[in-house]
């Protein structure tokens, strides 16, 4: 399996924006330049492991969340994302989401032959 630096960069950008942090601020937090952060987010540069860890820490995100597109076993990451997604939902919203998810799952399995 080939490592996809573009996907990693996309995840870094996604989490950075979600946290409301600019490229310049992230660069300051991890002692890099804004240009270097931009190149990482675009997938044009690969980073060292210490830089990766610094970025993950600065964004308050786990390494597996940033690497989920490159990992084969992402069940834990997916479970965490589901938990975060429904954490602020009312009981009504949770029931509707669960019913929708069940229906979508059934429809995907019924139509799998179309792939």
- Residue 37 pLDDT greater than 70, yes or no: yes
Identify the DSSP state of 33: -
pLDDT class of 73 with cuts at 50, 70, 90: low
The predicted structure's pLDDT at residue 77: 64
Mean pLDDT score of the chain, rounded to an integer?
90
Average pLDDT over residues 11-21: 95
Give ∠ CA 30-74-98 in degrees, rounded to 5: 115
Q: Which domains does the chain have, with CATH numbers?
A: 5-67 (1.10.260.40), 75-114 (no CATH)
How would you label 41-74 residue by residue, b for 16+ Cβ within 10 Å and e otherwise? beeeeebeeebbebbbebbebeeebbbbebeeeb
The predicted structure's pLDDT at residue 75: 64
Is residue 73 within 8 A of residue 1, CB to CB? The reply is: no
pTM value surpassing 0.75: no
């Amino acid at each position: 399996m080939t490592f996809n630096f573009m996907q990693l960069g996309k995840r870094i950008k996604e989490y950075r924006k979600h946290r409301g942090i600019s490229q310049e601020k992230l660069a300051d937090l991890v002692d890099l330049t804004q240009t270097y952060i931009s190149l990482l987010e675009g997938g044009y540069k690969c980073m060292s492991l210490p830089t990766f860890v610094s970025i993950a820490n600065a964004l308050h995100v786990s390494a597996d969340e940033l690497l989920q597109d490159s990992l084969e076993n992402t069940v834990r990451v997916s479970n965490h994302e589901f938990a975060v997604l429904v954490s602020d939902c009312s009981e009504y919203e949770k029931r509707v989401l669960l019913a929708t998810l069940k229906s979508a799952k059934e429809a995907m399995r019924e139509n799998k032959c179309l792939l």
